[in-house]
Amino acid sequence: MSGSYKVSYKEDMAIFQNLWVKVWLIIFIILAVFSPILLNRYQLSILNEMGIATIGALGLNLLIGYTGQLSLGHGAFLAIGAYTSALLTGKLGIPFFLSLPLSGLMASLLGLVVGIPSLRLKGLYLALGTLAFAFIVEYILFHWDLTQGDLGMAVKRIGIGDYVIRSQRQYFYLIMAFATFAVICTKNLDRSKIGRSFKAIRDRDIAAEAMGIPLAKYKVMAFGISAFYGGVAGCLMAHYNRWIVPGSFDISLSIAYIAMIIIGGLGTVLGSVLGAILITGVPHGIVYVVDLLKGDYPALSGFIIDFKLGIFGLIIVLTLLFEPKGLFGVYQRTKVYFKTWPFKY
Amino acid sequence: MVVLEDSSEFQLEIDSVTMSFGGISALHDVSLSVEKGQIYSIIGPNGAGKTTLFNCISGMYRAQRGSIKFDGKELMRLKPPEIAHMGIARAFQNIELFQGMTVLDNLMSARGHLSHYGFLRAAIYLGKCRKEEIKSRDWVEEIIEFLDMQAIRKTPVAGLPYGLQKRVELGRALAMEPKLLLVDEPVSGMNIDETEDMARYLLDINEEMDITVVLVEHDMGLVMDLSDRVTVLNFGTKIAEGTPQEIANNPVVVQAYLGEAES
Ligand SMILES: Nc1ncnc2c1ncn2[C@@H]1O[C@H](COP(=O)(O)OP(=O)(O)OP(=O)(O)O)[C@@H](O)[C@H]1O
Ligand SMILES: [Mg+2]
């Protein structure tokens, strides 16, 4: 084998592979640096929600899109992360930068607890198992004294020493940093033996075993890692909204996350990001449209907000029908289109 | 005889393996031994139990009785991944590739147990992880070159023609750096050119890579050309064993195949 070839495939193994991706990366960095200056608080708050959703979606995609394990319980892992951090910072006075990884770990631990019995379940049965888990978590949050049920809990501001995060702009930089870190870690997992083992199990579990991939280990690991992302997203969500109630983590949150990864693209990092952006954006889009029409049709607003979940459902169905690869598939096709453009790079 | 077992020169020893599904006896008291470095063929009519025997060796089925030893170690209680880690690789009769992944990733995925890093290192992808990945990629690139798959390296497997998929099956098994390779009907459905290529690959695998090959195949020409030794199964029972020459002249074998042809 020639030396020059090795050089070329080491480039091939790079995290961001071609110029196309690098251009997007630069655009992204420029936008990230300048958007807090250009956007108003409301617009920034939407970006913040998107950033948090990205972290959660990356995690769920590792479980469903990469490993092929259907879960309806992702919302519960966000809840666990959110309440863990709320309790740790609120009751024990632990600083945010400790409570963040701890809430991820807590969710991860419970993810393992769900993952182990799930080894015997596949497909819909697994989905039902995770749903049952989500109901148990919700029940506990409603009935445990510490979590104050319906009333909800106030969550402390994020503080590092004396520095306290207050403005949307500060949140923006913090959340973007975490989201970017999560994207990079996931990309790395994707191109490592971990990602390949996940996908091998998804595509053909029997063959995966014969190739030396222990199913149980990787299936449980997928649950653990996925729940960790969920827990971190939940923790950020709690400190960002500064008030949590069990109702914000119910089945509709899980479905919103499923909608994200399906419309974005199952089993891809970019898909998780695009899906998170779109599904987080949709309700704001609805609010915007409703505001425009409010003058003419006053009854409309309540009506449409109630149908948010239905709209997610519709998006899922339409995606599965017309573009099963999701936005990632659209991106791929556009890329091919531009690559065949007269001047290649 | 029992005392001598440990010092056996056989790499794979199958002893009185019996396996039935409900009422059907797929394997009945089958014994055979493969020496290191051999190409050993198992032939027999459809439904004779050849694939079932492979499934027993690789741990996907659990035989009711008997013993299967590899390098002197009993395999019967082990799980498929453990058996794979010992150095037994498998190319399947019906293509069992990871259809959503590229050729390259299919091959790389068979090397998980050979790269020693955990998920935390993988998430950072520095140091050991990067080194091990490059090492794996080196090995896989050599197999890609050996099997002439450079052009399809980045192609998703699902879109490839059947003959190529069979080749990827073989490549994925080789990626594991096996000591023993189980190949189940590698040339079924292939044209003459593809069959010749496959024959050359199998010979090179055996001679140059120093891998013992157990081959299941219906193509008698291929079996006769390649094999050091042949076992014939019929309805789950071993009816003959010998060199290709002996098998070709064995009246019982001829009878079994004629019986199959008539029915
Ligand atoms: N999982 C299973 N459940 C029930 N019966 C099985 C199973 N696997 C194999 N058999 C039966 O065992 C017998 C042997 O099958 P096997 O697949 O081993 O044959 P084979 O020699 O590989 O045939 P072929 O040349 O057609 O591939 C057949 O009668 C088959 O129906
Ligand atoms: Mg068979």
Residues of chain A with pLDDT under 50: 1-6, 344-345
**Sheet of B24-35, strand order:** B24-35, B10-21, B65-70, B73-74
- Considering only CB atoms, which residues of chain B are within 8 Å of chain A? 58, 60, 79-81, 84-85, 89-90, 92, 96-101, 105, 108-113, 115, 117, 119, 122-125, 129, 133-134, 136-138, 141-142, 145, 172, 176
* pLDDT tens per residue across span B216-252: 999 999 999 999 999 999 999 999 999 999 998 888 8
Amino acid B259: pLDDT: 66
% of chain B beyond a pLDDT of 90: 82
Give yes or no for a contact between B171 and B92, defined as CB atoms under 8 angstroms apart.
Answer: no
Q: Which of these, B118, B48, B124, B58, lies nearest to B92 by C-alpha position?
A: B58
Amino acid B263: pLDDT: 45
Question: Of B119, B149, B175, which one is at a domain's C-terminal end?
Answer: B175
Residue B202 lies in a domain: yes
Amino acid A344: pLDDT: 45
Q: Which residue has the higher pLDDT, B131 or B259?
A: B131
Could you give the 3-state DSSP secondary structure of residue B230?
Answer: strand
- pTM for the full predicted model: 0.91
Mutation target vs A (from B109, B132, B145, B155; most A CBs, 10 A cutoff): B109
Question: Of B175, B207, B234, which one is at a domain's C-terminal end?
Answer: B175
Residue B54: which domain range?
A: 10-87+178-263
Contacts of B101 in chain A (CB under 8 A): 196, 199-200, 203
Residue of A nearest to B144 (CA): A1
| Burial grade of A266 (CB within 10 A; 0-12, 13-18, 19 or more) | buried
End-to-end CA gap in chain A: 27
pLDDT above 70: residue B6? no
Distance CA A147, CA A245 (A): 9
Q: Regarding beta strands B180-184 and B88-91, do their DSSP bridges make them parallel or antiparallel, or are they unpaired?
A: parallel
Amino acid B1: pLDDT: 43
> Both B155 and B254 in a single domain?
no
pLDDT above 70: residue B258? no
A212 closest CB neighbour out of B113, B134, B137:
B113
> Both B182 and B70 in a single domain?
yes
Question: Of B136, B155, B175, which one is at a domain's C-terminal end?
Answer: B175
Taking the CA of residue A132 and the nearest CA in chain B, the distance in Å comes to: 28
Amino acid A306: pLDDT: 65
* pLDDT tens per residue across span A280-328: 998 888 778 777 877 777 666 666 666 777 788 888 888 888 888 888 8
Range from A68-77, A118-127, B42-51, B92-101 carrying the lowest mean pLDDT: A118-127
Would you state the structure tokens that stand for residue A252, as one six-digit string?
A: 């509709």
> Both B197 and B257 in a single domain?
yes
Residue of B nearest to A204 (CA): B98
Distance CA B162, CA B120 (A): 38
C-alpha dist (Å) from residue A248 to A129, A243, A256, B232:
21, 10, 12, 66
Residue of B nearest to A194 (CA): B119
What total of structural domains would you count in chain B?
A: 2
Residue B92 lies in a domain: no
Distance CA B229, CA B252 (A): 17
B62 lines ligand 1 (CB under 6 A): no
> Both B187 and B254 in a single domain?
yes
Contacts of A182 in chain B (CB under 8 A): none
The H or E element that residue B19 is part of is: strand B10-21
Amino acid A155: pLDDT: 84
B122 closest CB neighbour out of A5, A193, A214:
A193
> Both B128 and B170 in a single domain?
yes
* Position A153, amino acid: M
